[in-house]
């Protein structure tokens, strides 16, 4: 399976750190030609250098369609086309509903949901010319399945991505393009580490596999959706969470 992305041109938004960097590394190690996109060019370039294998960093803000069109063009100029796009860039600032401002809501929705639309919109013309175009979204368990205080805007954006995917799936199918979503649980990243040691410990304890996920855990799920072997899978989701959503109570975990 991992061999079928060899030589394919892959664009990963939010590829300068965290899950996006993990996805980019997994694809690069599988022989794909990867462009990572983030707002900070220095960080995108540093991640690309660290990943190696011809990986290249490009600066773009997913909240601006024109930025994403330029990023897609840069990937095409470098790698001759785009076969796989991973719309992964996202933010997760916390704000409780009663204190949340309209600006905070807009920032999260503009980045996570509209940014996802911009990314796909900018890449579709190139994906159409690929023999097997692939779109992989990074959604979350938070929103589509679970909730967490302070993340009502985030949850809405992540559930919204799946609504977007289900109609995009039908529109893109006639071009042979598939679109699927990975739904991570709690994954160890620089971003998540910022939520504090106590948070990380409590989260690990609530997961049946007793550990947080790695960025590679998500990268391999994305790699499956990108593979030629997944050519008949579209409009689908895969939860990668160590079983986190399954215990119906703390007691269910305690008795295991
Ligand atoms: P992260 O470590 O904070 O990295 C976020 C990445 O997105 C960075 O490369 C960042 O680079 C980029 N980014 C942010 N805003 C952007 C914008 N407007 N335009 C372009 N790039 C932007 O985050 P992460 O934890 O890896 O999360 C990545 C994705 O996974 C998100 O969609 C998140 O919702 C999802 N997710 C994460 C977890 C988790 O446990 N970590 C769980 C479920 C889902 P710049 O700042 O330079 O732009």
Pairwise CA distance, residues 15 & 35, whole Å = 8
Q: How confident is the model at residue 139 (pLDDT cuts 50, 70, 90)?
A: very high
What is the share, in percent, of the chain residues with pLDDT greater than 90? 92
Cα(77)–Cα(23) distance, integer angstroms: 22
Give residue 228 CA to ligand 1 midpoint distance, Å: 27
Q: What's the Cα-to-Cα distance from 203 to each of 134, 188, 218, 248, rounded to whole Å? A: 32, 11, 17, 15
Give the domain extent around 82: 2-254
Which of 15, 16, 18 to probe ligand 1 with, by most ligand atoms within 8 A of CB? 18
Question: How high is the pLDDT of residue 2?
Answer: 67
> What value does the mean pLDDT take over residues 16-40?
98
User: Would you list the DSSP string of 102-163?
Assistant: HHHHHHHHIIIIIHHHHHHHHHHHHHTTSTT-EEEEE--SBTTTB--TT-HHHHHHHHHHHH
Say how many domains are in the chain: 1
What pLDDT sits at residue 1? 63
Measure Cα distances from 254 to 137, 205, 210, 230 in Å.
34, 10, 12, 37
**Cβ(88) to ligand 1 under 6 A?**
yes
Residues 6 or more apart in contact with residue 242 via CB below 8 angstroms: 185, 207, 208, 209, 210, 211, 212, 213
Helix (H) or strand (E) holding 245: none
- Could you say which of 154, 199, 220, 232 is catalytic? 154
How confident is the model over 192-242, as pLDDT tens digits? 777 788 888 888 999 999 999 999 999 999 999 999 999 999 999 999 999
Q: What pTM was estimated for this model as a whole?
A: 0.97
d(CA 170, CA 101): 35
Range 39-52 average pLDDT: 98
> In a 10 Å sphere around its CB, with 0-12 CB exposed, 13-18 middle and 19+ buried, how is residue 101 labelled?
exposed
Measured from the CB, is residue 186 less than 6 Å from ligand 1? Answer: yes
CATH number of residue 249's parent domain? 3.40.50.720
| Stretch 151-167: mean pLDDT | 98
pLDDT at 78 over 70: yes
Could you confirm whether 224 is annotated as catalytic? no
In terms of Cα–Cα distance, which of 212, 158, 150 is closest to 18? 212
């Amino acid at each position: 399976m991992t061999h079928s992305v060899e030589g394919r041109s892959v664009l990963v938004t939010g590829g300068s750190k965290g899950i996006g960097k993990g996805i980019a590394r997994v694809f690069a190690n599988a022989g794909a030609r990867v462009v990572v996109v983030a707002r900070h060019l220095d960080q995108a370039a540093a991640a690309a250098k660290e990943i190696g294998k011809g990986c290249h960093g490009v600066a773009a803000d997913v909240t601006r369609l024109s930025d994403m069109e330029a990023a897609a063009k840069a990937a095409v100029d470098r790698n001759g086309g785009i076969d796989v796009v991973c719309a992964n860039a996202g933010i997760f600032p916390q704000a409780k509903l009663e204190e949340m401002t309209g600006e905070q809501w807009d920032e999260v929705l503009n980045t996570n949901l509209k940014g996802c639309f911009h990314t796909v919109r900018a890449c579709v013309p190139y994906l159409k010319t690929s023999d097997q175009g692939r779109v992989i979204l990074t959604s979350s368990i938070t929103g589509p399945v679970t909730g967490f205080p302070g993340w009502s805007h985030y949850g809405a954006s992540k559930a919204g991505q799946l609504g977007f995917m289900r109609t995009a799936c039908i529109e893109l199918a006639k071009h042979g393009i598939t679109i699927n979503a990975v739904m991570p649980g709690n994954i160890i990243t620089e971003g998540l580490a910022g939520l504090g040691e106590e948070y990380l410990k409590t989260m690990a304890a609530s997961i049946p596999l007793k550990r947080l996920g790695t960025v590679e855990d998500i990268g391999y799920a994305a790699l499956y959706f990108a593979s030629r072997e997944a050519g008949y899978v579209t409009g689908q989701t895969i939860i990668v969470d160590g079983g986190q959503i399954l215990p119906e109570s703390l007691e269910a975990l305690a008795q295991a």
